[in-house]
Amino acid sequence: MSMSKEKIAGLYQKRAGWYDCSANTYYLIGFREFAYRQMAVQELHLNPGDTVVEIGCGTGLNFELLQRQVGPQGHIVGVDLTAEMLAKARRRMERNHWSNITLIQSDAAAFEFPQQVDGVISTFALTLVPEYDTVIQHAAAVLPNGKWLVILDFKMPDRWPMWLVKLLVVLTRPFGVTLDLGDRHLWESVDRYLKTVVFKELYFGAVYICAGKAG
């Protein structure tokens, strides 16, 4: 059974201090998280000076990748549910002297997108939000024609035996993953509210990138 928002918030409050290190341990099973994040950011097709919103920014693992795209004249808006994760993100900003990032603590479903947005991204976060369809609808509503929304997340792999699926769920449970999240098909919402959809499967079908283009 999927976790409530309260439980998700409590989980990430506790994990904030060692989130980055724990995420890196999945490289031991061939999970190339940073490479997947790079691919997702590339699908945004951002330009220098653009404004990008990241839903579920966590500790800011994507900030460096996004900075490379929008440059110091661009703007990054990082949204997360928990103050503890945002505190880590703020320290990352300070270490790198990034002054073009705004951090906002908010439930993704309640977040009001800025009127000027050139891209929206969420990596390994939006599947945990029960109102993901509403979030995608709101994002699509503010994206100008030709701009992109990109989601990188887990999915139910089509060709895995169930015992292996359950093992993956056990391994990712520390991040709030439960078996029933496989019923949340975010790409269907992207297809509903945006015109062009790019869909790529990664990690043998257990991870996907979905990119929707406004217009």
Please report which confidence band the pLDDT of residue 18 belongs to, taking 50, 70 and 90 as the band edges. low
Query: How high is the pLDDT of residue 20?
Result: 61
- 182 against 52, higher pLDDT: 52
Q: Are 50 and 77 in contact (CB under 8 A)?
A: no
What's the pTM value of the predicted model, to 2 decimals? 0.87
- Cα–chain-centroid distance for residue 12? 14
In whole numbers, what is the pLDDT of the chain averaged over residues? 89
> Cα–Cα distance between 197 and 187 in angstroms, integer?
8
Residue 94 clears pLDDT 90, i.e. is over it = yes
Nearest one of 108, 98, 38, 109 to 74, comparing CA atoms: 98
Q: Residue 59 and residue 18: Cα distance in Å, rounded?
A: 10
Band (pLDDT 50/70/90 cuts) for residue 183 is: confident
* List of domains in the chain: 5-213 (3.40.50.150)
Six-digit token pair at 64? 């460096």
The pLDDT-based confidence of 179 (bands split at 50, 70, 90) is confident
